[in-house]
Amino acid sequence: MLFSSIPFLYYFLAITILLYIISPKKLKNSTLLLCSLFFYYWGERTYTIIMVVSILFGYVFGLLIERYRETKAKAPLTAVSVAISLSFLLYFKYADFFIENFNAVTGLSVPLLNVVLPIGISFYTFQIISYTIDVSRGERAQKNPINLGAYITMFPQLIAGPIVRYSDIDRELTTRTHTLDDTAAGIRRFVFGLGKKILIANQLGELVSAFRAASEPSVLWHWLYAIAFCLHIYFDFSGYSDMAIGLGRIFGFHFIENFNYPYISASITEFWRRWHISLGSWFRDYVYIPLGGNRCGKARQLFNIAVVWFLTGMWHGAAWNFIVWGLYFAVLLTIEKLWLLKYLKKSKVLSRIYVLLFVLISFVIFNASGMAEAGSDLLGLVGVGKSGMLPLVSAEAIYNLKSFAVVIILGIIGSTPLPKRLAEKFEKGEKTRVISNIAEPIVLVALFATMTAYLVDGSFNPFLYFRF
Amino acid sequence: MKSNKIKNIVVCSLFGAILLVMFALCILMPKPEYSESERRKLAELLPLTYENVESGRWMTSFDSYSTDNFPFRDEFRTLKAIVSTGVFSRLDNNKIYVADGYAAAIEYPMRDENLVRAAERFRNVYNTFLSESNNVYVSIIPDKGAFLAKENGRLSMDYDAFEARMRELTSDFSEYVEISDLLSLEDYYKTDTHWRQEQITDVADRLLSAMGKSPTGEHKTNELDYGFHGVYYGQSAMPLPAETIYYLTNDALDGCRVCNGDKVSFGANGELMMPEMPMYDMELGHGKDPYEMYLGGSLSLVTVENPAVTDGSHLVLFRDSFGSAIAPLLCESYSKVTLVDIRYIQPMMLGRFIDFDGADVMFLYSTLVVNNSETLK
């Protein structure tokens, strides 16, 4: 079930909030668990059992690891727990990828398993792994399976993150409070996130699709596509994260922020501190640091970076373009670490242009269906087409540039902190605060009505991160 | 702080109220089976059975059902169209645009493979049923975009190239009759794809002249007493005014006998029997698509016999829905006109129903059908 859908907004969410409000305090987590399981089952009937089994393994191993934490059994228990969680992920996400490549290398024809990827498996697997590792590092294990289940399956973040650490919401699972401020802030965040998704990301998604269906390739079309996809993926994913964080807050949870205006970064290093923060910090804490992190020789550090970014690429998808995408960032981060970072500090303008250009190239690779398409999309940016040089412009490109100009401009402005700063400035002024207080509910209702209108009209609406 | 508290109370109350009120309306409001504005059957909810749930079909059907049956659906669609074109300045809404008061679909690009396919379909008919004794003609009707798109900054096909290509592809078995120079934007309905019958008598005369026939006579212009919202009205979801459908009559047309070949049967001696139908069907004129009043709309086979012309001339008109409005005017100069729509009937079956011997044959199709000729059989 998509957040940006009529069934979610006007059926599931309405009923879930109602049930949650009327549930006694003791049963609120049970209510959340049941609603979340229903939410998951709606879109993933066959593999709901896989998620439940994964959670049960996590629960049992959490208790065992806590019990034997001071003994030699801690390490093997943790390793087995991580291995079990990863085995589900490896089988469902990577089995066919490995077979394909094995066949390509050996010339054999091992039949593909044609396994369907369970929705959200990459996210909930990482949450379970972080839980058991945190317990092995000293966090207390969750004794109540309902609480652990509510944490893993919590529908706001179940299928596309942010990857919420158990340690971050451990206390809130048992003793959270519900305040008017939190609820209103949650609603505000949810509505704005929904707006980012429906009004900006979906429209840019149409532009991206129009490029794929285009009959007149041109240099302008390729750049328009690349810029549109960069904005599309940001608004799609950060919009989803906003909705998740907002919904979490309505239910009394404070999830980790997942995006912090990544497109204003002055280096790729900074970009990755601002983009998909929960994934970056997960790899830092559970892969990079255990491998030695920065506290080792230069060569080892670079090796650690390569491993982390190879895995980051793999996490995003079982295809070579994702691996190349991950390693591409490993190379950029290595160059910055060894040499470039100090030069980037000299000019904010040039450093930002550098970031935007290299991130744009990365997302062209990311969104391709394979390395061949990635190559052709990249070559298109410099005017090289499949059958010779491309024209600079085409009628389709100009038409779509005109048709999507306002959306793109709004997207560019919206991906900077400017709107937030303006709103804060408005809130601080004595006179403007009155206007802001009156305008905010009106804007929220108008936005919600407009987004409903877009949903009713059945526009373009896939969530990009569902495939991970 | 107090004002913040009030604001937060208002935000929470409004959000809760919207969700609950709309949820109640979703459950309680009546669910129409058909959308008049979109001219389509709305999604139905599958029965709640174990098989439907386990297969996910019930969930999928619920997604479509809840969206299709959302309260005030038409109003929300209009709001979306206004925001899309007004606030976001999108040049089209769901590939439909409104310019100079006319709504039209983006028809772009010219798909050469589809032009080739259409020409092959025509040639297939020629090779199967026709010979040099038949006079064969091809004519292409430009869609509204030919007069609206380029002038208003929308993607526009090269209509001259389109015609030239069709002329080239069909020149070995037919004569091409150009009519685009006789048409202008005013010849089309503002909210529909189609042309207006009262505006195309000159086109009918050009076609008849090319086939060596006398032009149409004088007509009485009649008005249908029912507001017409064309297909683009619902698709664009823009608040466009209703139009008036006009239809032409005269003594010759009044005397024609029209038969519906879709309800054909065979008599005791194997003779073809087709039920009669009106040339202008007022019931259909007051129905879901009033344009279907012209010769019954989308029928695969229709015959019109004109007792006022006694020379035994026969025109077989292969056509799409544009042909329904012009065919009555062509009937005035033929003893018999047979209308065939090969989107709905296999051409191989035509020999059972049509005597092609000595008949004039015309392929009269709009650019919309030729450019999307997957629909032709």
Give B83-106 pLDDT, tens digit per residue. 999 999 999 998 999 999 999 999
Question: Average pLDDT of B31-45?
Answer: 88
Are residues B311 and B201 part of one domain?
Answer: yes
Give per-residue burial for A8-38: e unless 16+ CB within 10 Å, then b. Answer: bbbbbbbebbeebeeeeeeebbbbbbbbbbe
Which amino acid appears at position A437 of this protein?
N
* Contact of A163 with A279, CB cutoff 8 Å: yes
B96 assigned to some structural domain? no
> d(Cα A111, Cα A464) in Å, to the nearest integer?
29
Q: What pLDDT is stored for residue B349 in this prediction? A: 87
> d(Cα A50, Cα A242) in Å, to the nearest integer?
27
Are residues B138 and B40 part of one domain?
Answer: no
DSSP H stretches of helix in A176-218: 180-195, 202-212
Which amino acid appears at position B369 of this protein?
V
> Where is pLDDT greater, at A161 or A39?
A39
Q: What angle do CA B163, B169, B171 make, to 5 degrees?
A: 90
Q: How far is CA B199 from the centre of its chain?
A: 17
Are residues B37 and B23 part of one domain?
Answer: no
Angle, to 10 degrees, between the axis of helix B2-28 and the axis of helix A14-22?
Answer: 120
> d(Cα A132, Cα A440) in Å, to the nearest integer?
42
Q: Which of A1, A10, A413, A454 to mutate to test the interface with B (most CBs of B within 10 A)?
A: A10
Give me B323's structure tokens.
Answer: 């042909």
Q: What's the mean pLDDT when you consider all of chain B?
A: 93
A-chain CB neighbours of B87 within 8 Å are: 406
For residue A159, give Cα distances in angstroms to A2, A83, A154: 10, 21, 9
Are residues B38 and B25 part of one domain?
Answer: no
Please count the residues of chain B: 377
Cα distance from N-terminal residue to C-terminal residue, chain B = 72
Give me B69's structure tokens.
Answer: 């049956």
* Contact of B270 with B282, CB cutoff 8 Å: no
Strands (E), chain B: 34-35, 40-41, 96-99, 102-105, 136-141, 175-176, 220-223, 246-249, 257-260, 265-266, 272-273, 276-277, 301-305, 314-319, 336-340, 360-366
At B360, is the pLDDT very low, low, confident or very high (cuts 50, 70, 90)?
Answer: very high
> d(Cα A260, Cα A273) in Å, to the nearest integer?
8
> Where is pLDDT greater, at B37 or B129?
B129
The number of folded domains in chain B is 3
* Contact of B63 with A7, CB cutoff 8 Å: yes
Q: Calculate Rg over the CA atoms of chain B.
A: 25
Backbone angles phi, psi at B176, to 5 degrees: -90, 135
At A268, is the pLDDT very low, low, confident or very high (cuts 50, 70, 90)?
Answer: very high
Q: What pLDDT is stored for residue A387 in this prediction? A: 87
B9 assigned to some structural domain? yes
B268 assigned to some structural domain? yes
The yes-or-no verdict on residue A467 having pLDDT over 60 is: no
DSSP H stretches of helix in A264-335: 268-274, 277-283, 298-316, 320-335
Give A138-184 pLDDT, tens digit per residue. 999 999 999 999 999 999 998 887 999 998 888 999 889 999 999 99
For residue A167, give Cα distances in angstroms to A8, A164, A432, B229: 29, 9, 40, 61
For residue B198, give Cα distances in angstroms to A206, B249, B252, B328: 40, 10, 16, 11
The yes-or-no verdict on residue A421 having pLDDT over 90 is: yes
The yes-or-no verdict on residue A466 having pLDDT over 80 is: no
* Contact of A44 with B104, CB cutoff 8 Å: no
Backbone angles phi, psi at B34, to 5 degrees: -135, 140
CB-based contact A406 B88, cutoff 8 Å: yes
Q: Positive or negative CA dihedral for A333, A334, A335, A341?
A: positive
Q: Cβ atoms within 10 A of the Cβ of B63, count?
A: 19
B-chain CB neighbours of A456 within 8 Å are: 67, 70, 73, 76-77, 80
Q: What pLDDT is stored for residue B273 in this prediction? A: 83
Q: Which of B19, B92, B113 to mutate to test the interface with A (most CBs of A within 10 A)?
A: B19
Task: Let me know if A109 is exposed, middle or buried by CB neighbors in 10 A (0-12, 13-18, 19+).
Answer: exposed
Are residues B59 and B19 part of one domain?
Answer: no
B316: nearest Cα among B253, B262, B366, B360:
B360
Residues whose CB falls within 8 Å of the CB of residue A190, separated by 6 or more in sequence, listed in order = A242, A243, A246, A247, A250
**What pTM was computed for the model?**
0.91
> d(Cα A57, Cα A63) in Å, to the nearest integer?
10
CB-based contact B15 A216, cutoff 8 Å: no
CB-based contact B19 A405, cutoff 8 Å: no
Angle, to 10 degrees, between the axis of helix A371-381 and the axis of helix A348-366?
Answer: 140
Are residues B19 and B47 part of one domain?
Answer: no
Task: Let me know if B89 is exposed, middle or buried by CB neighbors in 10 A (0-12, 13-18, 19+).
Answer: middle
Q: What pLDDT is stored for residue A416 in this prediction? A: 97
B-chain CB neighbours of A215 within 8 Å are: 109
Are residues B185 and B323 part of one domain?
Answer: yes
Are residues B166 and B118 part of one domain?
Answer: yes
Q: What is the DSSP letter of B227?
A: -
Q: Which residues 299-328 of A have a C-beta within 8 angstroms of B?
A: none
Which amino acid appears at position A187 of this protein?
I
Percentage of residues in chain A with pLDDT exceeding 90?
A: 84
HSE-up (13 A, CA, CB side) for residue A72: 0
Are residues B190 and B176 part of one domain?
Answer: yes
B197 assigned to some structural domain? yes
Q: Which residue of B has its CA nearest to A42?
A: B59
Q: What pLDDT is stored for residue B143 in this prediction? A: 96
Give B52-76 pLDDT, tens digit per residue. 999 999 999 999 999 999 999 999 9
CB-based contact A10 B83, cutoff 8 Å: no
The yes-or-no verdict on residue A119 having pLDDT over 70 is: yes
A7: nearest Cα among A53, A38, A45:
A38
Q: What pLDDT is stored for residue B261 in this prediction? A: 86
Domain ranges, residue B49 = 31-70
B275 assigned to some structural domain? yes
B-chain CB neighbours of A407 within 8 Å are: 88, 90
Are residues B171 and B57 part of one domain?
Answer: no
> d(Cα B79, Cα B76) in Å, to the nearest integer?
5
Question: Average pLDDT of B223-230?
Answer: 92
Residues whose CB falls within 8 Å of the CB of residue A98, separated by 6 or more in sequence, listed in order = none
CB-based contact B77 A183, cutoff 8 Å: no
A-chain CB neighbours of B7 within 8 Å are: 184, 437, 440-441
Q: What pLDDT is stored for residue A184 in this prediction? A: 96
DSSP H stretches of helix in A345-468: 348-366, 371-381, 395-414, 418-428, 430-456
Q: What pLDDT is stored for residue A160 in this prediction? A: 81
B296 assigned to some structural domain? yes
* Contact of A318 with A350, CB cutoff 8 Å: no
Task: Let me know if A349 is exposed, middle or buried by CB neighbors in 10 A (0-12, 13-18, 19+).
Answer: exposed
Is cis: bond before A162, omega within 30 of 0?
A: yes
* Contact of B252 with B279, CB cutoff 8 Å: no
* Contact of B301 with B345, CB cutoff 8 Å: yes
Q: What pLDDT is stored for residue B277 in this prediction? A: 95
Q: What pLDDT is stored for residue B132 in this prediction? A: 86
Which amino acid appears at position B340 of this protein?
V
Give A192-224 pLDDT, tens digit per residue. 999 999 999 999 999 999 999 998 999 999 999
Give B230-276 pLDDT, tens digit per residue. 999 988 889 899 999 999 999 999 999 999 988 878 877 777 788 99
B282: nearest Cα among B292, B271, B270, B272:
B292
Backbone angles phi, psi at A168, to 5 degrees: -75, -30
Are residues B263 and B242 part of one domain?
Answer: yes
Q: How far is CA B77 from the centre of its chain?
A: 22
Q: Which of B15, B42, B154 to mutate to test the interface with A (most CBs of A within 10 A)?
A: B15
Residues whose CB falls within 8 Å of the CB of residue B367, separated by 6 or more in sequence, listed in order = B107, B140, B141, B142, B143, B146, B157, B159, B162
Q: What pLDDT is stored for residue B97 in this prediction? A: 95
Q: What pLDDT is stored for residue A56 in this prediction? A: 96
ipTM field:
0.91
- Phi-psi group of A446: left, alpha or beta (phi > 0 → left; psi -120 to 50 → alpha; rest → beta): alpha
Q: What pLDDT is stored for residue A465 in this prediction? A: 53
DSSP H stretches of helix in B237-360: 251-254, 282-285, 321-331
CB-based contact A406 B19, cutoff 8 Å: no
Are residues B275 and B241 part of one domain?
Answer: yes
Residue A78 contacts B, CB cutoff 8 Å:
no
B89 assigned to some structural domain? no
Torsion of CA B146, B147, B149, B152, to 10 degrees: 160
Q: Which residues of A are catalytic?
A: 316
CB-based contact A11 B66, cutoff 8 Å: yes
What is B3-20 written as a DSSP string? HHHHHHHHHHHHHHHHHH
At A463, is the pLDDT very low, low, confident or very high (cuts 50, 70, 90)?
Answer: low
DSSP H stretches of helix in B83-171: 112-129, 145-148, 159-170
Give me B132's structure tokens.
Answer: 């040099």
B81 assigned to some structural domain? no
What is the distance in angstroms between the Cα of B30 and the nearest Cα belonging to chain A? 17
> d(Cα A404, Cα A231) in Å, to the nearest integer?
12
CB-based contact B15 A444, cutoff 8 Å: yes
Q: What pLDDT is stored for residue B2 in this prediction? A: 67
